Structure formats: structure tokens, C-alpha cells
Structure 1
Amino acid sequence: MKKSILFLSAAVTLLATAACQNFKKGDGGLEYKIVKDEGAEKAKAGDLLSVDMTVTSDRKDSLLQSTYDIGLPQIINIAPDSIPGLYAGDYNSMFKFLGEGDSAVFRLNLDTMAAKTGQPKPEFADKFVTFTVKVRKHFKKGNLTDSALYAQIDTYFKGEIEGLKKAEEGKLAKYVADKKLEPKKSASGLQYIISQEGKGDKVVVGDTVVVNYTGKLVNGKVFDTNSAETAKKEKTFNPMKQYEPIRFRVGHDPVIQGWTEGMQLLNKGAKATFLVPSNLGYGERGGGTIPPYAPLVFEVEVVNIIPGPKGDAPAATLPVDSAATKK
């Protein structure tokens, strides 16, 4: 079970600083710096580690992945060295330096990786990829069956997700306070700020709306946008994506409940911010890079409204897929 996920903490800053210090040389071109050694038993084949981790390349502004962006740790399965494709100094072997409570910085040599695996070097780095790792928990295989071991993981993640649930209300309140916002609040819990009033009638069920949008987590991480400029700025640009206003029929095409409700507050030309609690968004499961129980922030602009048939009834609610839209 892998959850790549928010919030760069003081601990990460400490580890990143350590990355600038001298590294020790390991097998296969691996370089490492042990920042903290709790003296606990180190991981071995068959074990699993729950880790907080950031991954960067040796290029400027090159954050590739961060579990802090999701708020959940990543589970690392320590594989046996006998598996084809593994070699001393590879990604798998890094974690054998670590036990519960340990933290370290590793630099994986891409030239060695290419030579050992026969695969081309990735395009997002020149020579090294750096992993800054802190171990939360060590799950030891020992004599446990696979089912017993993974039952421990399941119980552990249920606890982590319950923590996200309890923290949600505070996260949203802190966002409002930090931004000095004064949102209005609907009966459902949707909070909204209309920053620019539009003209004409407001959206009603059955209308098709044409919308510009940017969706963010409350830590500011953009997870989706139809703005190419914003996507490039946030380093999420996808050349295969068409960056243009989206359109959907309110109450019929599947979108999160926060959008169905929020759009009916707006008219053509209106701009607004929706603060969407998870029960009106992606709920307990999350979606893609959106964590479970994540409050969301959407900046929206209604570009156009295409009136629908009069007296239209809404369609049944469908499950969430990506961003605000469900497909």
C-alpha cells in the first residue's frame, strides 16, 4: 500500500541541511548520511518501513515527490536481494541502513543504476536522485505470515487516516485564519467567498457551466488546474493535457457535491473561492494526490452559462474521479 503524500516540517529542513554535508560511500555508487541513529534493529528482507520521505533530483527546484504533500507516510517493502534487477546500492538497499526512529539522506547514483539494470537514465536528473528519509515505524516480518504482517499495516493506516479525520476541521480553520478570510457558510458546511460578482441569472440545475479553476490543498499544494501558466508555475504541467475551461451540466454531470452547490451561488463572470470540507469533496478515500479527509480550496471563474431545459431534475450522485470532476 503506497500513499504518496503534506507539510514540510522542521525535521525535513534538518535532513535537507544534512544533505549538504559530507556523504559516506556505499556499494554501487550509493552515498549516504545518517542524520539520526536510534540504535534500533535495522530493516531486512521481508520487513516493511513506514517512512516520511522527500525525493529530489540534482537539478534546481527539483522536488519530485513528498509524502508530506499527502499527510500520510509511505510503506516501503524491503525485498530480497535475490530478486532480478536489484543490486547493491539500489533503492531497495538504502532502507536496510534504517530502523525505527532513524533518519538519513541517500544519493542514488543513476549511472550505476543504468549500468546495472540496462535501463536508460531518467530525464529528470543528471547523476543523482536524493532521498531524505525518516522512519516512523518498523514492521518486522520474523515468523509472521504475510497476512498477519499486512494486518498490522492495515491497522496502522486506519489509525493514520483517523488522525487526518480528527485534524480536518482544524486545518480548514487555520487556513481561514492565516489568510484572514471572512467566508460565508452554507447549511451543508461549504464555505465561500465571492470575489467578483457576475451578471445575469445564477446557475440552476440543468445549466451547463463553463469554468476556469485551480484546486489546492490547504497547504497551498495545487493538485489540478486548467491554467497552463499555473501548472507550469507549480511544476505540474502536462503537455498531453488540454488547458482550457471545463464544462459540465450542473446536477447531471458528476462533480463533487461542493461544486454542485457552489456553482448555484454564481452567475456569468463571477469569481469565487470555495472552501470544501471532505464530506462535500473526496471524503474518507481521497483521490489521486488528494488525501483522505482533505479540505480543499478551489478558485473558480464562471466563463459562461448555457441554460438547460426548464424544470430539469438532478441526476443521481456518482463517485468522485479526479479534481472537481467525476467521470
Structure 2
Amino acid sequence: MKKSILFLSAAFTLLAASCQNFKKGDGGLEYKIVKDEGAEKAQTGDFLSVDLTIKSDRKDSLLNSTYDLGLPQIVNIAADTLPGMYKGDYNSMFKFLGEGDSAVFRLNLDTMAAMTHQPKPEFADKYVTFTVKVRKHFKKGQLTDSALYTQIDNYFKGELEGLKKAEEGKISSYVSSNKLEPKKTASGLQYVITSEGKGEKPVLGDTVVVQYTGKLTNGTVFDTSIKEVATANKMPIDPMRTFEPIRFSIGNQPVIQGWTEGLLLFAKGTKATLIIPSSLAYGDRPAGNKIPPYAPLIFDVELVDVIKGKPVTAPTAAPTVAEPAN
């Protein structure tokens, strides 16, 4: 958790320290090389593994960050002559960089619109700023496409394995730093009841109504049913969305396994925190652009209501409660 926060902090520090004295490049591109390791620069056909953040020139306008997923982005260096490409575009800025280099780029959207004959994006006024750090440079050279892609695939598998090995530590750190004493089920689900409900517990086939906020162990909120929470965490809000408790039939409508197990433990009215390992969530798959592979998830839930339904056969036994996890 601390590592990801430090990485993101370093990215914004890099951006803040480098916003002055941009050099002018082709096509309205502006750039500042923050660190040059002297390595060979990327060429057409190469690939780069990069950490990056993308911001528009509007206030509080972080558009994307690889630090959210904890995985680098793989960038293919394409030829400027391909349709839609031009000197000074997103692709061309990576040709300034080699392994270990870092830089800040400002992409001119007026130039992009003129060169591509496309409308200017509405998420920025004039510039989009990229803060980039290169982790690894995959050189095409004389390699076949197959050999090059094998290198990249093996590298990415190693990155995923690192996330897998880090999961247990993320959970332990979250529990420790928040001074929690969760109970643990046989499946690995952990939970803390913060307010005990007095109603009936749901069973498979019942419909539950749940207020929730989901976040990563580093505190990043990725979803919530509560508008005030979404606003406080500066989440993008679909103007068509109606914030309200989620409603679903346990065992009939698919949710992650950690939710099914956890909610069967709680009486109506219960407020609790679920600490869900990735094996009971999304496993080795990312979910959207906020939930990384092998990500343990934290859900603050309130079981607002239980509506009796037609019983269904349990696919697995109901979770059994073990001793407190720590």
C-alpha cells in the first residue's frame, strides 16, 4: 500500500517540478526530459513498458494513471506514416525515451484536431499532459515478431506474479494500519461488524438491498452507492446514474463470491466491513481501470433490507466462521 502511494506521489512531484521550461517539438508537442539515463531511445517497431499519468489542463483532471492498477502500460512505437499518425502526436513522444528515462509531455489538442481532421476532445481546453517513466525497453532489431512478443509476454507474467505475491501483505497491512480485528471464514473472507443488525439473516434465494462503498487497500474508492461518497472522492459521475442501494437475489444474480458469503452472515440492519481476497473477487483479471489483478477488495456495507424469496440450492456450503484473523 505504502509503495503504491509513494509511486503516485513521486509521479505528481515529477510533474509539478517539471512544468516549466518546456522545449518545443514537432506538431506543437512540448516536452521536458526529467531524467536521461543515456540509453538507446525507442524506435519504430520497439515496445516500452511505462508508468504514466495523464491529466488535462483543467482543475482536478486526472484522466488516467497506471499507478491505479499497479501495472505498467505497454506502448508500441508505430511509424509516423501510418494513417492518423503525425509528428508531435502521442506516439511520437515516446521516441524521446529509453530505458530508465522519465519526462513530461504536453500534447497540443488544437494541432491534433487539425492534423487528424477530428473534433477536439471535450475533456481539456488545449493541452493534455503526460508524465512518463520508462521501466523497460523491448527492442525490435532483428527479432521476429514472435520472439519480441514472447519477451513482452514473459515480462508481463512476471509483473502479474509480483502482484500475486504482494496480495497477502496488502491485506495484513490494511488490517494492521486500521487496527481491525476481523473474523475469518474458511474461504479466506474476513469481516468486521461495526453495527449489529436485529433483523433476519438472508438465505440463498432472498433479495438483499445493500448500501456499499468499495475500495482498494490503498484507500482508492472504485465504486459506491452513495453519492456523497462519490463526490468526496472525486469519482466521475454519470449524470444519468441514480445513487441508491443495490438490490439482487442471492444465488440467482451474479455478484462476486465474497459478497455472497459475507451477506449470508449478516442480519438485516447490519453494518460491516468485508475484506475480500482476490480469489473471492476478480482473481487474476483486472476489473475496469481501477481494480488490478490479484487485488483484495474492501467493502463497507449496510444490509438495508432482506426480502424473502424462493429458496435455491446452495452451490457450496455456507461459510463457517473461524477465529479472529489476527
**1:276 and 2:276 are equivalent in the alignment:** yes
**Partner residue of 2:292?**
291
**Partner residue of 1:227?**
226
Stretches of structure 1 lacking an aligned partner (at least 5 in a row): 1-5, 317-327
Q: CA deviation at 1:8?
A: 4.9
Whether the 8 Å contact between 2:200 and 2:306 is mirrored in structure 1 is no
**Partner residue of 1:121?**
120
Whether the 8 Å contact between 1:8 and 1:68 is mirrored in structure 2 is no
Instruction: Report how many residues are paired.
Output: 311
**Partner residue of 1:249?**
249
Q: Which residues in structure 2 correspond to 1:12-161 (within 5 Å)?
A: 12-161=11-160
Q: CA deviation at 1:166?
A: 0.5
Counterpart AA for 2:262: G
**Partner residue of 1:265?**
265
Q: CA deviation at 1:103?
A: 0.3
**Partner residue of 1:238?**
238
Hey, what's the Cα distance between the residues in 1 that align with 2:141 and 2:231?
Answer: 47
TM-superposition CA deviations, 1:14-61 (whole Å, max 9, x none): 412333321111111111110100000000111110000000111111
**Partner residue of 1:303?**
304
Normalised to the residue count of structure 1, the TM-score between the two structures is 0.91
Q: CA RMSD in A?
A: 1.7
Q: CA deviation at 1:228?
A: 2.6
TM-superposition CA deviations, 1:68-125 (whole Å, max 9, x none): 0000000011110111111111101100000000000001111111111111221111
Hey, what's the Cα distance between the residues in 2 that align with 1:117 and 1:286?
Answer: 32
**1:171 and 2:173 are equivalent in the alignment:** no
Hey, what's the Cα distance between the residues in 1 that align with 2:6 and 2:231?
Answer: 21
Deviation larger for 235-244 or 31-40: 235-244
**Partner residue of 2:322?**
none
Counterpart AA for 2:142: N
Normalised to the residue count of structure 2, the TM-score between the two structures is 0.91
Whether the 8 Å contact between 2:199 and 2:269 is mirrored in structure 1 is no
Counterpart AA for 2:174: Y
Per the alignment, in what secondary structure is the counterpart of residue 200 of structure 2? strand
Per the alignment, in what secondary structure is the counterpart of residue 154 of structure 1? helix
Hey, what's the Cα distance between the residues in 2 that align with 1:271 and 1:221?
Answer: 20
Per the alignment, in what secondary structure is the counterpart of residue 188 of structure 2? coil
Hey, what's the Cα distance between the residues in 2 that align with 1:199 and 1:218?
Answer: 30
Per the alignment, in what secondary structure is the counterpart of residue 285 of structure 1? coil
Hey, what's the Cα distance between the residues in 2 that align with 1:60 and 1:11?
Answer: 19
Q: CA deviation at 1:315?
A: 5.2
Q: Which residues in structure 2 correspond to 1:201-216 (within 5 Å)?
A: 201-216=200-215
**Partner residue of 2:321?**
none
Counterpart AA for 1:196: S
Hey, what's the Cα distance between the residues in 1 that align with 2:5 and 2:70?
Answer: 7
Hey, what's the Cα distance between the residues in 1 that align with 2:216 and 2:146?
Answer: 34
Per the alignment, in what secondary structure is the counterpart of residue 268 of structure 1? coil
Per the alignment, in what secondary structure is the counterpart of residue 267 of structure 1? coil
Per the alignment, in what secondary structure is the counterpart of residue 45 of structure 1? coil
Hey, what's the Cα distance between the residues in 1 that align with 2:228 and 2:12?
Answer: 29
Q: CA deviation at 1:168?
A: 0.4
Whether the 8 Å contact between 2:18 and 2:34 is mirrored in structure 1 is no
Q: CA deviation at 1:308?
A: 2.1
Hey, what's the Cα distance between the residues in 2 that align with 1:114 and 1:204?
Answer: 56
Whether the 8 Å contact between 2:182 and 2:191 is mirrored in structure 1 is yes
Hey, what's the Cα distance between the residues in 1 that align with 2:225 and 2:44?
Answer: 44
Whether the 8 Å contact between 1:269 and 1:303 is mirrored in structure 2 is yes
Hey, what's the Cα distance between the residues in 2 that align with 1:60 and 1:302?
Answer: 37
Counterpart AA for 1:298: F
Stretches of structure 2 lacking an aligned partner (at least 5 in a row): 317-326
Identity of aligned residues (%): 70
Whether the 8 Å contact between 1:193 and 1:273 is mirrored in structure 2 is yes
